[in-house]
Structure 1
Amino acid sequence: MGGNSQLLDGMVVFVTVAETLSFTKAAQVLSHSPSYISKEMNQLEQRMAVQLLHRTTRSISLTEEGHQYYLRCRQIVDDANLAQASLSRAQHKPSGLLRINAPEIIAESHLNDLIGEFLNQYEDINVVIDLSDELVNIVEESYDLAIRIGKLKDSNLIAKKLMDTRLVTVASPSYLKRYGKPIKHSELNNHKCISYRYQPNPKVWSYTIANGKEVSIPVTPRVVCNNASLQLSISKMDAGIVRMPLFYCQQAIDNGELELIFDDYPSAEIGVYAVYPHKQFLATKVKVFIDFMANALAADY
């Protein structure tokens, strides 16, 4: 089969430059000189007949064409690394850069305590963690995995459940004393609610009632925000009713700062998942992190 013998030349260099945005830093990562990196990039652009980088005396950035090429090259480089690693996987320690996307609520409740332990256990793994409650495309953004909470949308991602939790409705005792504790879900219409921005509709809270039927309750949020820590603080300051995963507000319930509402009704069960792109060979660094998190969370709940 015929082909272009130079097809992959410079690809690793380009991916490293795209991720460091520096010839000097790329040279350090690849153990080459900055002049070698610059030469490789010039040759790659000449072969491609397209400008991949914007260069100034102070900075480097990707062109639109460079960004699209990077997304494809990143996958090819990852697959090449996996192909090599798969030949002797049992003999290799987990290593490399692990790129993780996670919601802030998971960082505050779990990663703050666990990530250091993971790094101590796997000394050859380096980690980049981006915290965002907004769903991102982990393939386009080049993450190895993401942690997601709640019902997963249909996608081509592989999901592994890390733990189960419940979605609960809570408010401070002082708020409930002042405004009354709702007994029926429909009574939320008359209360000050604190909604999460990234739920499907911040003005509608869904519940499952005793017969298994799901009901949608319209609410008029006094606050809509994209941060669970802020939601929790506002609720503890007697400013409204909030709905969130039990693991995040359990301590506030235990110490009396918050009180469960609708505890006579079944609570919505939700999962916490690790999701990652479908690949024939799962990188060892990804596998050990998922297993580590699953074991740690299972021990807590």
Structure 2
Amino acid sequence: MNTPRNLGGFALALALLAAGAAQAQSGSGYFRYGDARLALKHAIAVAEDPSDPADEPRTLVFLSAQPLDAAAVAAAFDALDAVREQAPAGGYVRVCIAADGSECGLFYSPEGFNSGGYGELALQRDEPAHVAGRWQLAQGEFLGTPYDFDLRFDTAITPAPGDALPAGGGAPGAAYNAWLAALAKGDVAALRRMGGDDARGRFPEDDPGTVKESLKSLRDGEPLQAQIARGRQHGDQAVLWVEGVDRDDIRRRGRVLMRRSQAGWQHVESDLDSVEE
């Protein structure tokens, strides 16, 4: 029986869409380090938000032997952690592409190998929503271990999800500064309430020694009060870009992860660096 013309056209359109989707997230090539060789079959790319507002955004391309969930990686506070959870055994390669199209290093797992400035990166597409290119090195050596690679990728760039928070970070920003105030005062009861499940282990009611160590550990590197430059919320998770001076008069700047529970917004993690005045 002949296929009706309109159904045939519809089937062709579906086939073209499927081919386009496959092309929009493709990766190939390999990475060899010593006797270890990782064959690459898939690629995703995510837009990285810089921790310092003065830094330009970068694109992170991840190539792996098995498919990766680009949306989950883009939504994660730490993209590398999200990729490790998805590809714990197979390994992966992360390619960093700067805003000007140059390479800003690569990382190879499971060997934990960093490299940059070697080989040749050629981009065929370098757009806000798509990146395609090839980075290859015929022969390299690190501390006596030979390595070489041929990395090919053609993939859409997945942005971080969420909506911008109002000035000051809204409710998550207020909760972070309240947590900092409790930390500075040593208000353990408030820290238990605002720190989520992790706080129960940090501040046990029957172990004052652990409480003292936890206070010292958490105070190191956290500002006494934070100025919040901007924030982004995605569901019950919010990322804040903060800056402030810690108890040692060192200026800190970076990102903070907040999560909303039935008890309200709670501090989860900070990624802050010291900056010069």
TM-score range with shorter-chain normalisation? under 0.3
Higher RCO structure, 1 or 2 (CA under 8 Å, sep 6+): 1
Q: Please tell me whether Structure 1 or Structure 2 has the larger radius of gyration of its CA atoms.
A: 1
Structure with bigger strand share is: 2
TM-score normalised by the chain length of structure 1: 0.23
TM-score normalised by the chain length of structure 2: 0.25
Structure with bigger helix share is: 1
